[in-house]
Structure 1
Amino acid sequence: MIQMYLVTFRLIPGAYDTEFHELNDAIQAAAEDTEGYLGKQTWHAPDSEAVLVVYYWESLDALESFGVDADHKRAKQRWTEWYDAYEVTITEVIETYGCGFGDDASPLA
């Protein structure tokens, strides 16, 4: 049986500035440096400004380890400066299967 957790970050973007991009890059680097980080995929809704980013994690421990990152905490406190809305959903994956997505498949598919 696979073990994987998805963190789905749904957002409506606001105005991004240089500080946002620098902080976003630092957060992504911290995620990639966290043991148990498996990857991410991003989708843009065709009928709205909504963006969906799905982060893949090997365990809740890995996710919690990333959650204490200082840049990540700072960004969470300042979300109103860069997003009009956001929602985070954490999901445990029971099963994943499929065919045809190649390199675009989920990390454990």
Structure 2
Amino acid sequence: MYLVTFRLDPGEYDEEFHELNDIIQAVAEDTDGYLGKRTWNNTESDEVLVVYYWKSLNALNSFGDDTNHKRAKQRWTEWYDAYEVTVTEVLETYGSGFGDDADPPR
């Protein structure tokens, strides 16, 4: 499994951002190997952290090849003050679990 951590400092979102963001999320959900996402918001700094779960690197790369996703990445300066993406391979997970709502779905 792979995690893509998308850390961002939001700027100004316009209607086009929201439309493109919805399209990209739908593309992710339709990509074979997409397992889900979790989002956290830091109320003190407005920083947002989104973690996307992928079954394989091939699945992630397939999503990364999407035209809408590429277009959004080219326009990041219009919508974010800063961002950082980290791709991590998960070697092991353990703990008590979070029940049926756990991410990624098991």
Superposed pair shares fold, TM > 0.5: yes
Q: Residue type matched to 1:84 in 2? A: D
Distance across 2 between alignment mates of 1:15 and 1:103: 35
- For residue 87 of structure 1, what is the aligned residue in structure 2? 84
Distance across 1 between alignment mates of 2:74 and 2:2: 24
Distance across 2 between alignment mates of 1:98 and 1:108: 15
Q: Residue type matched to 2:81 in 1? A: D
Kindly report the root-mean-square deviation, in angstroms, between the aligned alpha carbons of the 2 structures.
Answer: 1.3
- For residue 54 of structure 2, what is the aligned residue in structure 1? 57
Alpha-carbon offset, residue 7 of structure 1: 0.2
Misfit runs of 4+, over 4 Å: none
How many residue pairs end up in the alignment?
106
Q: Does 1:29 align with 2:26?
A: yes
Q: Unpaired segments of 5 or more residues in structure 2?
A: none
Q: Give the TM-score of the pair, scaled to structure 1.
A: 0.91
| Identity value in percent | 76
Q: Unpaired segments of 5 or more residues in structure 1?
A: none
Q: Give the TM-score of the pair, scaled to structure 2.
A: 0.94
Distance across 1 between alignment mates of 2:97 and 2:30: 29
**Matching of residues 1-109 of structure 1 within 5 Å:** 4-99=1-96, 101-107=98-104
